[in-house]
Amino acid sequence: MDVFALSMADDIARPEQQQTLFRPSHVELDETMQAVLAALERVRPGRVVLDSLSILRDLADEPFAYRRQVLALKNALVAGGCTALVTDALLAPPDMHLRTMAHGVIRLLQEVTTYGNVRRQVEIVKMRAMPFHSGRHDVVLETGGLRVFPRVLPASSAADSPGDVHSSGVARLDVLLGGGLDGGAATLLVGAAGTGKSSFTMQCATAALQRGQSVAVYLFDERPPTWFQRADQLGFPLRQSAAEGTLLLEQIDPAEMSPGQFAHAVQHAVTHRAVHLVIIDSLTGYVHAMPDEHFLTLHMHELFTWLGQHGATTLLVLDQHGLGDASRMSPLDLSYLADTVLLFRYFEDQGTIRRAVSVLKRRSGPHEQTIREMTLGPTGIAIGEPLTQFRGVLTGLPTYAGDRTSG
C-alpha cells in the first residue's frame, strides 16, 4: 500500500509561498492535480482512496476550475481501471455536480444526543446499476474498523405461516390464552410495576426451555443477578439453563446501544443461536432513555415483523404509570402492533392487595373473556378461577357481589 501526502497543500499556507500575481486555480490547483495524476501513473493502483476533495475545492478560486480538475481526475481513474473512494465534507447545499459524476454516494452522519453516546449513521444516497438498502443505518466506530447495523427489513414477499400454539406451563393460563402462546406472534404484557409481568415471562421461558427451545432475554431495567435471584425464589431453574447456553441473558444499556445495534443483536440470536422465544423486559426503560428517538414505534414494528417471519415468539413487557390507576396509560402504545395483549392489574379485597390477569385481544383466535386472579409463590405462577363474584376488578376497587359466608 502506497501513501502519497500532498505536501504542497501545506506549503501554500506559508506566508512566503503566497502571491497575488497568478490565480490559485492556475498555479496551486494545477500543481496539485499534476502531482496526483503522476502518482497514479507511477503506481497504477487497483484501488485509490483520496482524502479529501475539500482540499481541491479550497485551492480552486472558481467552481469551473474545480469541476474541470475533478472531471480530469475521474477520467484518469477510469482509464486506469481503478476503483476510487473519495471523501468530501458535507456541504449545505450539497455538491450536486460531484454527485452526478460519482457512481455511488454514501453519506456519514453524526448526531449528539441529549444523553449517552454520539449517534453515528450511514446512508446510501446513490448506487448505480445495483439495488441497495435505503434509509439510515446505525454505525459504531470501534477498534478494528467500522461496524454497520443495517435497518431491519422484513421480507415483503414472505408469507407468515400459522405457528404452533405453545403451552405456558400453567394449564389455567393456557385456557385464558385460548390454548397457549402463538408461535411467531408478539405478545404484549401491560400493567403496573409488580403485577407479575416479568414473572410471567420467566414462566414462559421455563416452559420453552423444557420443550428444548432456546430463549433470549434482554433486560433494560433490571440487573442479571437480581433477575436470577427472583427466578430462584419462584422455583424457575433459569440459572442452570444460562450455564448450559440454552438461555441467553443480556443487560442492555440504551444510553450506549442504538436501536439498530439492539435489533442486530436480536437478529443474531435468532439466526445464529436458533432462539425461539425473545423476551424484551422492558420497553419502558428503553423509551425513557431515548427521548430523541422519534421512530421507535416504527422500528419495533419492523423488528416484530421480522421475528414473526422467522418463527420467533416475542414477549414484550410494557409498564404503566401508577400502581392502581387503570386510566393512566403508558406513553408508548404498542397494543396495535402486538398479536396478543395481556393486562395485569392490582385490586384490593378486605385490605389485601391481590393480582388479576386477563386477555384483551388475540388475533389468531378466540380467548377466554374472564378475569382470573394470579398468585406468585415458590413453585411459580398459579392462576385461580374466574373472579365472577367481583365487579370492577380492573378499576382496582372491586365490589364483592357474592356471599362471603359461603367461602
3 state DSSP class of 275 = strand
259 is a domain residue: yes
Between 261 and 290, the higher pLDDT residue? 261
More confident position, 94 or 407:
94
- Helix, strand, or coil here: 281? strand
Task: Look at 299 and 178; give whichever has higher pLDDT.
Answer: 178
| pLDDT value of position 298 | 82
- CA 392, CA 345: separation in Å to the nearest integer? 11
Under a CB-based contact definition with an 8 Å cutoff, are residues 206 and 236 in contact?
A: yes
Residue 233 is assigned to a structural domain of this protein: yes
pLDDT at residue 105 greater than cutoff 90 = yes
Residue 158 lies in a domain: no
Please name the residues in contact with 72: beta carbons below 8 A apart, sequence gap of 6 or more: 33, 37
Q: Are residues 377 and 317 in the same domain?
A: yes
Mean pLDDT of 72-87: 90
Please give the backbone phi and psi of residue 253, each rounded to the nearest 5 degrees, phi first: -105, 100
384 or 8, which is more confident?
384
pTM assigned to the model: 0.83
95, three cell numbers? 455538491
Cis before 45 (ω within 30): no
pLDDT score of 400 more than 60: yes
Mean pLDDT of the chain: 84
- 57 vs 47, residue with greater confidence: 47
Task: Report pLDDT for 335.
Answer: 75
DSSP classification of residue 266: H
pLDDT exceeds cutoff 60 at 20: no
The pLDDT value given to residue 164: 86
Indicate whether 203 belongs to any domain.
Answer: yes
Residue 157, domain member (yes or no): no
All three cell numbers of 289, joined, read: 432513555
102 within 8 A of 94, measured Cβ to Cβ: no
Same domain, 98 and 120: no
Residue 133 shares a structural domain with residue 255? no
Give the residue, 256 or 232, on which the prediction is more confident. Answer: 232
- The larger pLDDT score, comparing residue 300 to residue 396, is at 300
- The model's pLDDT over 319-365, given as tens digits with 9 standing for 90+, comes to 887 655 555 555 566 778 899 999 998 888 888 888 999 999 999 88
Residues 123 and 42 in one domain: no
The answer to whether residues 238 and 202 touch, using CB atoms and an 8 Å cutoff, is: yes
Query: Is 259 found in the same domain as 176?
Result: yes
Residue 160 lies inside a defined structural domain of this protein: no
More confident: 266 or 331 = 266
**Among the listed ranges 55-64, 152-161, 254-263, 386-395, which one has the minimum average pLDDT value?**
152-161
* Spatial CB neighbours of 106, under 8 Å, sequence gap ≥ 6: 122, 123, 124, 125
- Alpha-carbon distance values, 247 to 83, 212, 231, 243, 334 (Å): 46, 11, 13, 8, 26
State how far the Cα of 272 lies from the Cα of 269, in Å rounded to an integer: 6
Burial of 15 (0-12, 13-18, 19+ CB in 10 A): exposed
- pLDDT for 3 beyond 60: yes
- CB count within 10 Å of CB 11 equals 12
Asked whether residue 109 falls in the same domain as residue 98, the answer is: no
Ramachandran class of 145: left when φ > 0, alpha when ψ lies in -120 to 50, beta otherwise: left
**Is residue 122 domain-resident?**
yes
Q: Which residue has the higher pLDDT, 112 or 187?
A: 187
The span from the CA of 215 to the CA of 236, in Å, is 14
User: Which residue stretches of 177-256 are H helix?
Assistant: 197-210, 224-233, 238-244
Tens digit of each residue's pLDDT (9 = 90 or more) over 282-322? 887 677 656 555 677 788 888 999 999 999 999 999 988 76
Return the DSSP state at 240: H
The confidence score (pLDDT) of residue 407 equals 45
Residue 236 and residue 203 in contact, taking contact as beta carbons nearer than 8 Å:
yes
Residues 6 and 54 grouped into a single domain? yes
On whether the CB atoms of residues 299 and 280 are closer than 8 A, the answer is no
Q: Which of 148, 146, 122, 126 lies closest to 136 in space, CA to CA? A: 122
Contact status, residue 188 vs residue 334, Cβ threshold 8 Å: yes
Same domain, 225 and 373: yes
266: containing domain: 165-406
Residue 325 sits in the same domain as residue 257: yes
Tell whether 377 and 251 lie within a shared domain.
yes
Q: Determine which of 40-49, 109-118, 193-202, 374-383 has the lowest per-residue pLDDT on average.
A: 109-118
CATH number at residue 372: 3.40.50.300
Q: How confident is the model at residue 209 (pLDDT cuts 50, 70, 90)?
A: very high
**Range in 13-17, 75-79, 186-190, 318-322 the model is least confident about:** 13-17
- Average confidence (pLDDT) over 205-232: 96
- 298 and 358, same domain (yes or no): yes
Q: Which residue, 70, 86, 102, sits at the end of a domain?
A: 102
Number of domains in the chain: 3
Distance, in Å, from the CA atom of 214 to the CA atom of 313, rounded to the nearest integer, reads 11
Same domain as 340, residue 365 = yes
Question: Is 146 among the domain residues?
Answer: yes
